[in-house]
């Protein structure tokens, strides 16, 4: 309990708990601990800290194991390109692609519906996975405040008149761009979940068919059984993703107050 | 075809050595990038890189440490710029509060080992506190306290002297515990009075240094 003992403290005792000492050295420390309640306390405190840290470890989602294996499999396959072009079917596919490219260059399509829009792909995936919220909150103002400074762009969390309650927000990425996923629950059913994906997407075309709702250009599309309604506000794209009927989605969008 | 068989066998060997560490890499990746998506990208990248350089791996040496070296290098080179540090804004606002760290003074409330402050903590609070650390501290704390690497292994992973590891670890833990204390009080796990008992005023000098570091980070 002397001043000297205090100095010996932390880093030394931490190193002891961290398992940095040889058995002999540890024996000496143990002998000291038996006599010094202050050091013994410090050791127990550090042990409880370490245990709390270990408890905070996460495990990888199960499908991710398969993703990694698949990635390795692909990487390990040395002749993946060479072989692909030895197969007659591949040549046919390549020829068809070249033909399609020519047709497209000649103006075969008025808008690029065939480009898999990552906004939809990623948005639906994010909605379907229902990952935990970074910031659970039912107060749009505090959630918006939380988001500020974490995103490169400003956001407005809309208020929905239809009784959709804010659950919270999480940060994510869409196509390597920062995004926020806002989760709402609806009164109908047992709290059906609606996700609002907010992303600064420079892609000029929003996916789907355009509709005019409440002075807003809204684009409707469907993917993997979900309905998606997207619109822009201050250049930022807002995409509402849910398993609601198109009618209900439109009603919800109509009730959205962006201020 | 022969070549393919060879690569396939190498892949199997690589998988048998590396996949056991996927959870650990993901857990660390999550605390480095702070979101699942980037963590998955980072870990996927790490596995592909490690596989490409598998012939450089000395069989029989520490695979986990080797993979973590690749993980941290990949993170620093590629993701660090992308994942905006969120500590600065939040940290600055918190700096106004009490500068209190956990000390080793025995207190009434902690006389019983069951009652140790850290035992009562929620993992969410622990995670938030880790996420708030400036990156250099966070790296060392993740490697030492989540992954239980030795100081020497961490020094090798981060390519820095053991002394640097120890000082960063010490300061990182202090900062983290300060955050934890605040969360514990905010979430009611700990009463303000207990927190005061546990806390000790940090010397002015140290507080300034920490602020300085946060500003740079």
Q: How confident is the model at residue B64 (pLDDT cuts 50, 70, 90)?
A: very high
**Does pLDDT of A138 surpass 80?**
yes
B45 and B121 both lie in a single domain:
no
Where do the H-state alpha helices sit in chain A?
3-17, 23-35, 37-55, 62-76, 80-84, 88-105, 118-129, 140-147, 246-254
Q: Is A172 a member of any domain?
A: yes
What is the average per-residue pLDDT within A92-113? 52
CATH of the domain at A235: 3.30.200.100
**Does any CB of chain A come closer than 8 Å to the CB of residue B79?**
no
B91 and B77 both lie in a single domain:
no
A246 and A132 both lie in a single domain:
yes
Q: Are B48 and A75 in contact (CB < 8 Å)?
A: yes
Q: How confident is the model at residue B108 (pLDDT cuts 50, 70, 90)?
A: very low
**Does any CB of chain A come closer than 8 Å to the CB of residue B110?**
yes
Residues sharing a CB contact under 8 Å with residue B199, sequence separation 6 or more, in sequence order: B98, B100, B101, B102, B103, B181
Q: Is A60 a member of any domain?
A: no
**Does any CB of chain B come closer than 8 Å to the CB of residue A142?**
no
Q: Are A172 and B37 in contact (CB < 8 Å)?
A: yes
B19 and B103 both lie in a single domain:
no
Q: Which of A34, A55, A76 is the last residue of a domain?
A: A55
**Does any CB of chain B come closer than 8 Å to the CB of residue A1?**
no
Q: Is A195 a member of any domain?
A: yes
B46 and B102 both lie in a single domain:
no
Q: Are B3 and A78 in contact (CB < 8 Å)?
A: yes
| Predicted complex ipTM | 0.77
Q: A166: closest CA among A130, A126, A194, A200?
A: A194
pLDDT tens by residue, A147-190: 887 887 778 888 887 678 898 999 888 877 888 999 998 877 66
Q: Which residue has the higher pLDDT, B194 or B189?
A: B189
B110 and B207 both lie in a single domain:
yes
- pLDDT number for residue A97: 59
Averaged pLDDT of chain A: 79
Mutating which of A40, A68, A69 best tests the B interface, going by the most B Cβ atoms within 10 A?
A: A68
Q: Are B126 and A59 in contact (CB < 8 Å)?
A: no
Q: Which of A237-246, B26-35, B118-127, B133-142 has the lowest mean pLDDT?
A: B118-127
* Top mean-pLDDT range of A72-81, A226-235, B112-121: A226-235
Residue A53 neighbours by CB distance under 10 Å: 25
Mutating which of B1, B140, B145 best tests the A interface, going by the most A Cβ atoms within 10 A?
A: B145
**Does pLDDT of B138 surpass 90?**
yes
Tokens for A71? 């990635």
End-to-end CA distance of chain B: 51
A51 and A170 both lie in a single domain:
no
**Does any CB of chain B come closer than 8 Å to the CB of residue A30?**
no
Q: Residue B12 CA to chain centroid, in angstroms?
A: 30
The CA distance from A104 to the nearest CA of chain B, in Å, is 33
Q: Which domain holds residue A22?
A: 3-55
What is the average per-residue pLDDT within A197-224? 82
Q: Which residue has the tokens 């000649």?
A: A106
Q: Are B106 and A37 in contact (CB < 8 Å)?
A: yes
- pLDDT number for residue B206: 45
B107 and B179 both lie in a single domain:
yes
Q: How confident is the model at residue B188 (pLDDT cuts 50, 70, 90)?
A: confident
**Does any CB of chain B come closer than 8 Å to the CB of residue A167?**
no
Q: Is A64 a member of any domain?
A: no
The CA distance from A205 to the nearest CA of chain B, in Å, is 25
Q: Are B4 and A77 in contact (CB < 8 Å)?
A: yes
- pLDDT number for residue B4: 57
- pLDDT number for residue B31: 96
CATH of the domain at B172: 1.10.10.10
Q: Is A63 a member of any domain?
A: no
Q: Which of B57, B82, B107 is the last residue of a domain?
A: B82
Q: Which of B82, B99, B119 is the last residue of a domain?
A: B82
**Does any CB of chain A come closer than 8 Å to the CB of residue B213?**
no
Q: Which of B21, B56, B82 is the last residue of a domain?
A: B82
Q: Output the CA–CA distances (angstroms, integers) from residue B71 to A62, B37, B46, in the order listed.
A: 20, 15, 5
Tokens for A248? 């209900």
Please name the member of A72, A171, A176 whose beta carbon is closest to the beta carbon of B14: A72
Residue A254 neighbours by CB distance under 10 Å: 14
Provide the number of structural domains found in chain B.
2
Q: Are A79 and B86 in contact (CB < 8 Å)?
A: no
Please name the member of B27, B43, B119 whose beta carbon is closest to the beta carbon of A48: B119
**Does any CB of chain A come closer than 8 Å to the CB of residue B84?**
yes
Q: Is A51 a member of any domain?
A: yes
**Does pLDDT of B83 surpass 60?**
no
A37 and A142 both lie in a single domain:
no
Q: A213: closest CA among A193, A189, A240?
A: A240
**Does any CB of chain A come closer than 8 Å to the CB of residue B52?**
yes
Q: Is A18 a member of any domain?
A: yes
DSSP string, A58-96: ----HHHHHHHHHHHHHHH-TTHHHHHTTSHHHHHHHHH
What is the average per-residue pLDDT within A182-207? 81
A122 and A51 both lie in a single domain:
no
User: Are B25 and B68 spatial neighbours (Cβ–Cβ below 8 Å)?
Assistant: yes
Averaged pLDDT of chain B: 77
B111 and B32 both lie in a single domain:
no
Provide the number of structural domains found in chain A.
2
What is the average per-residue pLDDT within A129-154? 84
- Using DSSP, state whether A173 is helix, strand or coil: strand
What is the average per-residue pLDDT within B108-124? 63
Q: Give the whole-angstrom CA distance, residue B204 versus residue B104.
A: 19
User: Are A183 and A167 spatial neighbours (Cβ–Cβ below 8 Å)?
Assistant: yes
The CA distance from B130 to the nearest CA of chain A, in Å, is 9
**Does pLDDT of B183 surpass 90?**
no
A132 and A219 both lie in a single domain:
yes
Q: Which domain holds residue B126?
A: 87-216
* Top mean-pLDDT range of A71-75, B4-8, B141-145, B189-193: B141-145
- pLDDT number for residue B5: 62
């Amino acid at each position: 309990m002397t001043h000297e003992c205090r100095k010996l403290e932390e880093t030394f005792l931490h190193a002891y708990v961290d398992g940095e000492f040889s058995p002999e050295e540890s024996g000496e420390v143990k002998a000291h601990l038996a006599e010094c309640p202050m050091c013994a306390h410090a050791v127990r405190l550090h042990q409880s800290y370490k245990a709390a840290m270990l408890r905070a470890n996460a495990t990888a989602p199960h499908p991710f194991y398969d993703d990694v294996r698949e990635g390795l499999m692909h990487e390990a396959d040395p002749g993946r390109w060479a072989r692909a072009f030895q197969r007659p079917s591949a040549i046919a596919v390549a020829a068809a692609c070249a033909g399609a490219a020519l047709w497209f260059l000649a103006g075969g399509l008025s808008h690029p519906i065939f480009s898999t829009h990552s906004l939809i792909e990623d948005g639906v995936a994010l909605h379907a996975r229902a990952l935990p919220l970074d910031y659970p909150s039912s107060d749009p103002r505090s959630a918006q405040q939380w988001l500020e400074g974490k995103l490169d762009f400003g956001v407005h969390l809309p208020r929905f008149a239809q009784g959709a309650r804010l659950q919270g927000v999480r940060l994510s990425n869409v196509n390597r761009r920062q995004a926020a996923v806002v989760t709402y629950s609806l009164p109908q059913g047992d709290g059906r979940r609606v996700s609002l994906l907010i992303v600064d997407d420079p892609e000029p075309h929003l996916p789907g068919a355009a509709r005019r709702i409440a002075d807003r250009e809204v684009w409707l599309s469907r993917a993997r059984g979900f309905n998606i309604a997207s619109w822009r506000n201050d250049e930022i794209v807002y995409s509402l993703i849910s398993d609601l009927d198109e009618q209900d989605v439109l009603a919800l969008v109509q009730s959205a107050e962006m201020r | 075809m022969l070549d393919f068989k060879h690569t396939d066998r190498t892949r199997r060997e690589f998988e048998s050595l590396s996949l056991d560490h996927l959870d650990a890499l993901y857990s660390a990746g999550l605390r480095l990038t702070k979101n699942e998506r980037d963590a998955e990208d980072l870990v996927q990248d790490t596995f592909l890189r490690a596989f490409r350089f598998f012939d450089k791996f000395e069989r029989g040496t520490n695979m986990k440490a080797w993979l973590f070296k690749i993980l941290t290098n990949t993170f620093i080179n590629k993701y660090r710029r992308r994942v905006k540090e969120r500590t600065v804004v939040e940290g600055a606002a918190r700096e106004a509060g009490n500068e209190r760290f956990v000390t080793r003074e025995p207190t009434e409330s902690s006389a019983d080992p069951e009652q140790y402050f850290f035992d009562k903590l929620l993992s969410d609070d622990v995670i938030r506190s880790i996420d708030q650390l400036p990156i250099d501290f966070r790296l060392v704390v993740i490697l030492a306290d989540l992954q239980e690497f030795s100081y020497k292994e961490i020094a090798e992973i981060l390519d820095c002297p053991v002394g640097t590891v120890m000082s960063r670890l010490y300061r990182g833990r202090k900062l983290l515990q300060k955050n934890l204390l605040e969360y514990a009080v905010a979430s009611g796990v700990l009463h303000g009075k207990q927190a005061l008992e546990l806390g000790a005023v940090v010397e002015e000098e140290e507080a300034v240094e920490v602020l300085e570091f946060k500003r740079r980070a």
